[in-house]
Chains A and B, each alone.
Chain A
């Protein structure tokens, strides 16, 4: 297990927090204040066939000061990590609050949270930033080479690695230091689509973004998977196109996570429900007046939110408002029962405490209400396998891997494609299909959920790049899922849609 990065520990955090808290205390009207110092390491490696295309490393380093002054938020951020820089930022945050105060109609109030003084470090075995870059590049080139030797005409491997260090201190007495690591390895192979467009079609490996270190990359078996990947793609390109219509779908966790993300996780953000994102990310059909009554899906649908799941991409000890990580229900027995909250939303919703969903993607941005790990729970009563789900299907499609995704601003109409699609015929897999897209309306789709896999089939998937907010922010998030059986979902032929 890794300890706290000594480079981060060497920053003058005590001095800067003292300066910030003194400046906040000396600023009239300050009802609340916090200082958050972020120091990230981000390394991006891209190889194509036999070449290293780019290897770059960046280190965003700076701080944000958030104040509540006479009921108005004020936020200022700077990379000038000096006592003078912090003093200027406190003044700038107060100035922003006062400047915008005439537009304010509703004072900011925060739900209470105990003060915490803790250090939290995520469990990782091998810090990717301690693995030599040539070792990583060599490993990636071996995988692309295996793709080429298996017949691929195109092979590339991206690997994005992040170490995130955060320090938080507030006027309420919290003092929190945190560290987490995540990486996303993406191997993709391409072949010429002789029967279709005549252009190169690609397929991505089954590796997923994880809150783990380089050990995940080494254990995934990329070189071996490279050959399987080319074989899968070859079979797909030779497979028959899907005929549009309604099909029973068995959706693998590698695809279903994204449907959970778009149709449920964003749909249960309270800031969206209250209109805070109406100008950008959108709202949600799941409005607060329907808590306890809205049928989101079938009784098989049990969705939780958490910031606790080991190796989850949204897992932390504390959020960016100093709220301790928790786990709670969002949808139980198919009914909307909860929301994701930050402290301001919790107060508006008249709840005693936030569930810890404030997150900022950078020192330069204000924390927003951002999603935790949002997961579909497996069947608690039976360890159903995916093969058992197939057995209940006469004519259907098994969908693996995510590819294209899109959903409307109220989280109703969505359309997803995938990496691989297998025909299910009389309960058995019967070869691949191509050009599949499924399109539905959120409550209709989840209402068609008949069965989910058991605990052994549950997988943690996710993404690095969930977007929201103005200015736009991206956040990493995990979604755990079992496979699910959905009856009679509308399937399109994606290629025919374009003709």
Chain B
């Protein structure tokens, strides 16, 4: 089925109010111990159907192959809607004039095919061979995905968006697993990613681990590499919703109202989103199958504009669906699927060279909330903590558990490097992030981890 057929079946034959059609393809393979382990190719076509009976909502979705399935979904959704109470976020659906005006988002015909793996198979075979020759063990993952989404509403809105993403990650270990480093990169296509460069970077870092330094828990100046920065700013972003702030449930709640307008971070910290950024393009309109603090089904089709969340250390905006905005006097700010942190011109090498003593942290892992009021998180450093002294990396340091809040981290940020596409270790390429390395004072490593 093509996506327009799904929309027609749901809206015209099924009597639905909103239909979201989606086609998605993914190809991938995994590496371990210098060999390929698993692989896969997935292809799915799905329909999300939302029925509205007055202000009552019913939502059903399924993977579909036939028109009749979509019609049936719409019938089921209507059945749920009539039995549901009125939705607290009810708003009139958008007209085509009120909705996003275009359907930006890349190559509409793109699918991730097995052949998409071919450009990197040769380079990956080379790095596996190099790893064997170097007496090392190489582990990794490569993935390419393409998603096409089409939205239709009974008010005449028709929008289409696309997302393509690719990522390649490498973990390099000594055969005894006593030393370990990680590198990763992301983009829109695997062909854009440089496997050989990733391996060179990993090998350089593994060479740094030939000397090891044991350090105790405590407060350190750290340089967080872009992957580590991205994990922390994503955590911050997930809390940036107006409802949580208004209700006094998040770190964005002030003594009276939200902390919008408050200087919460160091002056050089700025965060924004732009769905049309060519290197991290995502659909520029709201697609919501269910309502939450971030989205409302009634906002489907709403344009997602470029948004500055934090400007020079000042919190500027919080995510806010239309109804919550109307009822509480906020501007409407849709959630966006990408995030950028502004950097500077300094390279990581220059930041290292200008360091008297600090820890260089490659990536973070297993990050979880501890105290929502402060957005206190716990997590671990992983696959690369290095001691910098007098402008040089002098050895590898044991891993640590940290207890830190991204708010505190960004408040104690004293230097930023070049912002670049970054791969969150925990989230992968599911969300595009551009982040710089950042120098942070007094980063709290609460205990030592024996893990390697």
Name A's B-contacting residues (CB within 8 A): 44, 46, 48, 51-62, 72-82, 85, 92-93, 95-97, 99-100, 102-106, 132-134, 137, 141, 154, 190, 192-193, 196-201, 274-276, 278-280, 282-283, 285, 364-366, 368, 404-413, 415, 417, 435, 437, 439, 441, 470-472, 492, 494-495, 497-498
Whether B302 sits at the interface, judged by CB under 8 Å, is: no
Known: A133-B84, A404-B378. A58 touches B62 (CB 8 A): yes
A494 touches B290 (CB 8 A): no
> What CA separation (Å) do A367 and B147 show in the bound complex?
23
> What CA separation (Å) do A133 and B372 show in the bound complex?
32
Residue B84 contacts which of A46, A57, A105, A137 (CB distance < 8 angstroms)?
A137
What number of A-B contacts does a CB cutoff of 8 Å give? 286
| Contacts A/B (CB < 8 Å), 15 sampled | A58-B61, A74-B39, A78-B44, A95-B114, A96-B29, A103-B31, A103-B121, A201-B373, A275-B173, A279-B140, A285-B450, A364-B44, A406-B378, A492-B446, A494-B370
Contacts of A276 in B (CB 8 A): 30, 32, 37
B62 touches A99 (CB 8 A): no
Q: Which of B247-255, B262-270, B277-285 is near enough to bind chain A?
A: B247-255
Whether B312 sits at the interface, judged by CB under 8 Å, is: no
Residue B61 contacts which of A56, A106, A415, A494 (CB distance < 8 angstroms)?
A56
> What CA separation (Å) do A57 and B27 show in the bound complex?
27
Whether B212 sits at the interface, judged by CB under 8 Å, is: no
Q: Is the interface of A mostly helix, strand, loop or mixed?
A: mixed
A132 touches B83 (CB 8 A): yes
Interface centre among B58, B180, B367, B450 (most CB of A within 10 A): B450
> What CA separation (Å) do A368 and B177 show in the bound complex?
22
Residues of chain B in range 260-317 having any CB-CB distance to chain A below 8 Å:
289-292, 297
B137 touches A275 (CB 8 A): yes
Minimum C-beta distance from A378 to chain B (A)? 29
Contacts of A417 in B (CB 8 A): 370
B450 touches A278 (CB 8 A): no
A279 touches B169 (CB 8 A): yes
Contacts of A103 in B (CB 8 A): 29, 31, 35-36, 121, 124-125, 128
> What CA separation (Å) do A154 and B448 show in the bound complex?
37
Interface size on B, residues (CB 8 A): 100
Q: Is the interface of B mostly helix, strand, loop or mixed?
A: strand
Interface centre among B29, B58, B143, B292 (most CB of A within 10 A): B29
Contacts of A197 in B (CB 8 A): 371, 373-374
Whether B380 sits at the interface, judged by CB under 8 Å, is: yes
Task: Give the residue name and chain of the B residue nearest to A80 (CB).
Answer: B65
> What CA separation (Å) do A76 and B27 show in the bound complex?
9
> What CA separation (Å) do A410 and B449 show in the bound complex?
9
Residue B64 contacts which of A78, A79, A200 (CB distance < 8 angstroms)?
A79
Interface centre among A154, A368, A408 (most CB of B within 10 A): A408
Contacts of B88 in A (CB 8 A): 48, 51-53
Task: Give the residue name and chain of the A residue nearest to B23 (CB).
Answer: A79
B451 touches A278 (CB 8 A): no
Whether B329 sits at the interface, judged by CB under 8 Å, is: no
